[in-house]
Structure 1
Amino acid sequence: MAEESGGVTFTTVSADDWLTDTRASYDAVADSYLDFTREALAESPLLRGVLALFAEAARDVGGPVADIGCGPGLITSHLHGLGLDAFGVDLSPRMVELAGRQHPDLRFHIGSMTDLALADDSVGGVLAFYSIIHVPDHEVPAVLAHFRRVLRPGGVVMLGFHVGDRVRLKTEGYGGHPMSLHVHRRPVERVAGWLRDAGFTIEAQVLLGPDDEVPGGMLIARTGS
């Protein structure tokens, strides 16, 4: 089922192959995405500030920090610069290849947040920076359970996501390359509820660009000690 709004098609998510679509889409746009995001942090002191909050909390826990959905490694490298032992995981092989080329001193791995190949209690922090936006609602609790499983006691998770309450089908992006994946906008309260259900306690909530068409939601949460 689909509806048109402002020239954009909004649909419900019914396909079971969303992981395949997401991987293929980001493989296709990876090089353009790198160029598109290269200066994103330099141009946004507020984003840097929120990431600094996460880094401070994760540093207190100790241990490595996983950047899940790391793309070409910009945020992973930034976390490393903040003193964290950060490594990246991404579904797209091309993204991981570019990340390793751009940041040869850091570790990057191909993997899925739906089947996270990390040991239990192995990391002090998990960052999912706008990488849950393609995950269907019914899959999010399982993803957060994986985050909870791999975190050490007292470990910290930070989620970044688009705020709203609809899903759109993205068919083109980053230099006009074809894509085929769903982009979810979610109320902050819904995402916070999923975190609480997964055993996290919310410690910080930030809304970036509340007057923008699509605000950015940031939630920092902690496991029990």
Structure 2
Amino acid sequence: MGDHGRHHSVRRSYDTVAEEYAARLQDELDGKPLDRALLTSLLEVTEPGAAIADLGCGPGHVAAWLTGKGARTVGIDLSPGMVEAGRRRFPQVEFREGDLRELPAKDGEFGSVVAFYTIIHLDPDDLHRAFEEMRRVLRPSGALLLSFHIGEEVRHLDEWWGYDVDVDFRFLQPGHIAGLLQAAGFTVEMSLERAPYAHEADTRRAYLLARRT
């Protein structure tokens, strides 16, 4: 499948599960104390008054949580179905439809960027371009908080909650991602791993906090 075809299948798959996803995950952060702590730290290092971008935002529950803490947030997602689900549920969040490789945002628009489990859908060759785009839309010294599943495998789903989908989840190595971030103009300030919570898929998770240099 070509590059355009892969992106189309990811977009269509998330469109298909958008409403189910939104209903199931809208309170997801309630059961993730470490994620909340890291998001709180991101809020504290964000330049006052600067917006925070939530990339691969899905239905916007992370962006809405940040908004609830006083942030101005912009959620960006490839899936128009996810964007529509988010707009209905969280009118306090600004949503935009867009691609990680060509973000719909101005240079230096954001004080911080969060990207939870979204780079896992990119082809390996697209990661550097996506990180360059993240750097472009960040203010100088802006922070980036990433999360992803740890490993080497690619998990394919053709069924998700009873819906027909066609989507790959690429597991990644923290050291490799840290190197790509540094090559794209970031300084990695923190890297940690955690085991899954009981209600999550059985994968180890990595979190990287990087700063635009």
Deviation at 1:86, TM superposition (A): 0.9
**Residue 92 of structure 1: aligned partner:** 79
Alignment of 1:43-82 (within 5 A): 43-58=31-46, 60=47, 62-82=49-69
Structure 2 spans left out of the alignment, 5+ residues: none
Matched, 1:197 2:183: yes
State the alpha-carbon separation in 2 of the partners of residues 219 and 29 from structure 1: 28
Within 5 Å, give how 1:1-225 maps onto structure 2: 15-16=2-3, 17-58=5-46, 60=47, 62-173=49-160, 175-209=161-195, 213-224=202-213
Which protein is bigger by CA-based radius of gyration?
A: 1
1:21, distance to aligned residue in structure 2 (A): 0.7
Higher relative contact order (CA 8 A, sep 6+): 1
- Does structure 1 conserve the Cα–Cα contact (< 8 Å) formed by 2:157 and 2:165? yes
Comparing 14-23 with 71-80, which one deviates more in the overlay? Answer: 14-23
- How many residues align? The count is 209
Match of 1:10 in 2: none
Please give the alpha-carbon distance, in whole angstroms, between the structure 2 residues aligned to 1:200 and 1:177. Answer: 38
| Superposed displacement of residue 38, structure 1 | 2.2
**Contact kept in structure 1, 2:64 and 2:92, CA below 8 Å:** no
**Aligned 8 A contact 1:91 1:111 in 2:** yes
> In the alignment, residue 133 of structure 1 is paired with which amino acid?
I
* Equivalent position SS for 1:165: coil
Q: Is the 8 A contact 1:66 1:88 kept in 2?
A: yes
* Cα drift, residue 52 of structure 1: 1.2
Task: Tell me how far apart the structure 1 counterparts of residues 196 and 163 of structure 2 sit (CA, whole Å).
Answer: 29
Quote the sequence identity (%): 35
Amino acid at match of 1:201: T
Which one is further off, 44-53 or 186-195? Answer: 44-53
| Equivalent residues of 1:61, 1:155 under 8 A apart | no
Moved more, 80-89 or 153-162: 80-89
Q: Which runs of at least 4 in structure 1 moved beyond 4 Å after TM superposition?
A: none
CA distance in 2, matches of 1:61, 1:157: 16
TM-aligned CA deviation for residue 83 of structure 1: 2.0
Amino acid of the structure 1 residue aligned with 2:203? V
Worse-matched range after superposition: 39-48 or 95-104: 39-48
1:215 and 1:54 map into 2 onto residues whose CA distance is 22
Q: What SS does the aligned partner of 2:208 have?
A: strand
Tell me the amino acid that sits aligned with residue 149 of structure 2: H
